[in-house]
Structure 1
Amino acid sequence: MTSDISVQADTQGAGTTSDISIPLEGGAVDEARRRPGAAATVVPAAFVERFDGYVAAKARPGEPLDDDTVRAYCSRTRQFLAWLDGADVDGDPLVDGQARDGAVRNYRAYLLTVAKRKLSTVNAHLTAVDDFLRHVGVGPAAAKRQEVPKSAPRALSDRNRTRWLRAAQRADARGKALAYVEYYGGLRGGEVVALDVGDVRISARKGVLIVRFGKGGKYREVPLHSQLRAAIEEWVTERAGWPGAAETPALFLNRRGGRLSTRGAYDQLKAIAADANLAFGRDGDLTPHSLRHTTGTNLVRDGVDVVLVAELLGHSVETARHYSQPTEADKQAAIERLTVDE
């Protein structure tokens, strides 16, 4: 069902099938992330046409959201539409503004009280729903976001970081380079697989990775850490002997000579995590995004200016400030310091 260049996404029996460049929830990437035993969400027949139009719009060239964000938005929109199909609402929420506001507020209550979603997850769902509502022309709903206690983004502990890096060192050349780009470069998963050979600039003493179209369409250049530089040079040398090396501009190739897919990179990182004895995935110690968060957290806590961290990772300054927030481990350690009378 999934290829390394495009994905044939269907609506799981709810309507049409179309070839697009973004794997949806029914695709292999999201199959890997879905909880074991969970079925793909079906788009109700009444909403198939509008959902397909949304998917097509997200797949057009120039879309400012990166592929991972688009996949998440499509998945969350499917879940909203499935809920909406059975909800008791007045009017048509996809046409009427008052009906829209009431429906989205009810959906927020459902996510909190029935689905038992975390506050941050509820807010993420509402953001995705608003994006869909803008597409259908009714505009975002007047539904307040949940107040989320501030804490540091999820990052690896020092011990697990060391285990990860040692396992990456044992991986093959491609796996090692992928792992190092995620950690030493702090790139998003979609940014990694979008790299071309020409996006790596290495001189006698230094080098940079060029991210041409990051989140929000932002361009940035990331200086190469010495470990990452060595890993990329090793991989580029090996890559020259792979099928498709001369014809495909992609930095990371699959075994057939095409561009490595997000799923392919995910599987490679998962194998390295297994070697490090780290659970990988949504509920594990490690996710592709937690490597990026680990980079940001380490930089900020080592005294690097937050403005510079934002520039390196392609964040806003406000987002980068989150790396200075305490982690759950920090909070627990602080509590344990209280005096005990024994």
Structure 2
Amino acid sequence: MSGINLLTDFLQHTRYQKGNSEKSIATYRRCLNSFFKWYSETNGRYPEPNDITSVDLREYQNFLQNIKGLKANTINLYMKTIRLYLEWLLEKELIGRMPSFPKNIKIQQTQPKALTRNEQNRVIREVERSGNIRNIAIIRLLLSCGLRLSELISLELSQLDLGERHGFMTIIGKGGKVRKVPVPPEARKAVFDWLAEREKKGINSNYLFPGRLGGHISKSQVSNIIDNLGHFARLELHPHIFRHTCATNLVRSNIDLVTVATILGHSNLSTTKVYTLPDEKTMAAALEQAEV
């Protein structure tokens, strides 16, 4: 059977036997056709199953990276598709063994977008200018404590242990993991102000931030609060940017990574290490300083 017919059979197999979507099938077709075109142009003929060697795979990966200039995740997708195709050939006993594959191209991580100090001040200034005590407490807890949105909205009064000089929250994070998060002074004051406001209004709920129809405030309600705040502060805001900002503030204050990871509820230090990467402004300043 020719290589072209094998490609058709492989795509049919992945569609019907593996249940892949039409979009995935189109991606497989594009990736494999690109490889076959490169092989044909390099070797003068279309590849038959046993023609493909580990040398071809290394050279093709090098071609994608250094000649085509593709991004790492795109290159890895192309190579993964070729692997799936060759595994199918092996399963069909159309090749004797799998050629060895080169290692995946390492994807360069970048620091998550965080607010600068000036931008943080603009956000705090706008939310305080609004005079909405509840919203001030929401923003302070997100920004000062690095809570996930799901952790914030589900906070119950029983999870708070706040004193005048110290305060903690017992947070139930991803996978039901429990951690204690300190509440620093400004955030603690904002929560005290909100608790007093709740009492004045006669709000009776186990949740720190009750919803309009019972239960807790919804994710969409908090997102709307943040969208409106971004409009007045002239910033693009989303709930998770406050968590990124909190983490970045901690790292730049020379807090050790284990402490930062514990506060944020990261189970893997590699997740926290991304906040140690320099941002574009820092790199530009470094080059300017070093330039002859």
TM-score, structure 1 length as denominator? 0.56
TM superposition shift of 1:270: 1.7
Contact preservation (8 Å) 2:165, 2:185: no
**Counterpart among 163, 180, 190 of residue 231 in structure 1:** 190
**Counterpart among 303, 320, 323 of residue 275 in structure 2:** 323
Distance 1:91 1:218, change over 3 A: same
Aligned to 2:288: 336
TM superposition shift of 1:93: 5.1
**Distance (whole Å) between structure 2 residues aligned to residue 238 and residue 195 of structure 1:** 17
Work out whether 1:221 is the aligned partner of 2:180.
Answer: yes
Aligned to 2:261: 310
Give unpaired runs (5+ residues) of structure 1: 1-87, 111-117, 124-143, 280-285
TM superposition shift of 1:301: 1.2
TM superposition shift of 1:183: 0.4
TM superposition shift of 1:256: 4.2
Work out whether 1:261 is the aligned partner of 2:218.
Answer: yes
Q: For 1:219-271, what per-residue CA distance to the aligned partner results, in whole angstroms no more than 9, with x for missing partners? A: 1111011001000011111123457x32x321112344442100001111222
**Distance (whole Å) between structure 1 residues aligned to residue 228 and residue 21 of structure 2:** 47
Report matched runs for 1:64-213 at 5 Å: 89-92=11-14, 95-96=17-18, 103=25, 106=28, 147-171=106-130, 172-212=132-172
Aligned to 1:251: 208
Contact preservation (8 Å) 1:181, 1:187: yes
TM superposition shift of 1:215: 1.8
Contact preservation (8 Å) 2:14, 2:20: no
**Distance (whole Å) between structure 2 residues aligned to residue 168 and residue 218 of structure 1:** 31
**Distance (whole Å) between structure 2 residues aligned to residue 217 and residue 335 of structure 1:** 44
**Distance (whole Å) between structure 1 residues aligned to residue 147 and residue 226 of structure 2:** 14
TM-score, structure 2 length as denominator? 0.64
- The alignment partner of 2:151 has SS state of helix
Q: Given residue 186 of structure 1, which amino acid in structure 2 is its aligned partner?
A: G
Alpha-carbon RMSD across the aligned residues, in angstroms, is 3.6
**Distance (whole Å) between structure 2 residues aligned to residue 93 and residue 255 of structure 1:** 46
Give unpaired runs (5+ residues) of structure 2: 1-9, 33-70, 77-102
**Distance (whole Å) between structure 1 residues aligned to residue 29 and residue 256 of structure 2:** 40
- In the comparison of the two structures, how many residue pairs are matched? 218
Identity %: 31
**Distance (whole Å) between structure 2 residues aligned to residue 287 and residue 90 of structure 1:** 42
**Distance (whole Å) between structure 2 residues aligned to residue 153 and residue 121 of structure 1:** 21
Aligned to 2:231: 274
